[in-house]
Chains A and B, each alone.
Chain A
Amino acid sequence: MLEIRGLSKSFGGVRATDNVTLDFADGSLTAVIGPNGAGKSTFFNLITGAFRPDSGKILLDGYDLAGSAPAEIVRHGIGRAFQVASVFPSLTVEETMLAAVGADQRRAGVLHRRFPLPEMRDRAEHAMELLGLAGKRNRVASTLSHGDQKLLDIALALVLDPKVLLLDEPTAGMGPEERWRMIDKVRELWDTQKITVVFIEHDMDIVFKIAPEIVVLCYGRILASGTPAAIRSNAAVIEAYLGTEHAGGSA
């Protein structure tokens, strides 16, 4: 279980994250939404160690990760995919997966053959198949389409067996059809892998359709959290963010 307690971060005079307290239950699927500048990416950055929080705790199964380096946090089980796909341009899809697993294995090092253990290959293979990239295994990452790079980005996070998967705008930069395909994939992953998934999303149609839990951030603070129905009828959320299009009504 991922518990956030009183997480705060200021940049200069701006409170980017303001005393955020949240729980993410094991195996939950949560969407984090909010207007631009609400601090959603900052929130992810704090959890994954890209920024050091000014105060607060980040408890993964009771262990406080606040202030740890990104590499440590990843090894504890928090994986992250990026808004702008962050991959390794010169490596092929397969090499990327194998290299990531190879880096994960503390035993694998300088003296080993290229990708020695069948177990490593299996993990890489599995992640590629989950994201539908197995057919493109020999494509160099820089030649992949934008959508495929985002898939590779997620595969990279997934192949490390995270307990919590943070997806920063998985549908960013995609057209409407592709967006639904991507979010369906995310939902499928969550269904089959039974890990905790948190994703940032701007498309309200998608959010209300897919996510069992929604957290609304505004000015770094939690404006509301709960089921889609609860969020839809929340007056503060409507005023600050939703407008009347998505307010009230049924799914």
Chain B
Amino acid sequence: MDLDALAGCLASSACLVTQTTSGLIIGMLLFLVAVGLTLIFGVLKVVNFTHGAFYMFGAYFAMTSYQATGSFVLAIVCGAAGTAILGLIFERVFMSRVYGANVLMQLLVCYAFVLIFDDVVRLVWGPEFKSMGMPAAFQVMPLFIAGGVVPPYYLLLIGVALAAAIVLGVGLARTRLGKVIRAAADNPGMVSALGINTGALYGAVFALGCMLAGLAGALAAPVRSLTPGMGFSVLIESFIVTVIGGMGSISGALIGALLLGLIRSFGSQGFPLFTDGLMYLFMVIVLVARPTGLFGKEVA
């Protein structure tokens, strides 16, 4: 425990800026992953324990694409699209078989695939830590805001994540597909009775959720190291975010993710060894006070 360091950081505007932006990018990445998770849960009523694996694939797809073509934009697209397609296949072939089953079965199927996916990545890309490296366009001088160091890539990351959030929010609220999705979340039986192809809908939603996780992975690739199994800690953290924010709530996921990101970054100042523990403590506190999360609805 190093409370002096924490106090010192809070007092210094430079440290404040650095840690806040760091917390923001952790938060925004978490948000993308978490919102995918919460979307899948809200509509399909299933907890996607493989979600972290799609984050991992997003990163690896992006890295390989970038190494092949040198285009950052293409890398992001590959990461997102690749995971969307993979997610669709996975959902149609495997996940759909365990929709009615109890949560342990679903957990088991997902756990099986986590094991398989991790090994597949190890097979194809190798077990060592890999890195994509910062794309040339961003290898520029960091910005200095109030004395704090802010790499411009961070701003892009935050921007893209925010844009995705806005598109998602508007899409769900205004477009026909969005309305159908929200209806399915509320009353799946009714939606199928209305003649809507629930199979296609579920596939689309699952793919969308995985795509968001993949997008997060692709965005994270330049600033994180890649390794098989990198999905696991992201999975746990995005769970914490969705549970804190409330399963099924997008705004909850945003608030939860930002809170968690800030706890992580400032927490690492004051509690370097217990940073993870802080997150879990926070989760326990929130859940004890509000078992359905900050914005969650009571599950009937």
Direct contact of A and B (CB under 8 A): no
Show the binding face of A for B, using Cβ within 8 Å: none
Report which B residues bind A (CB closer than 8 A): none
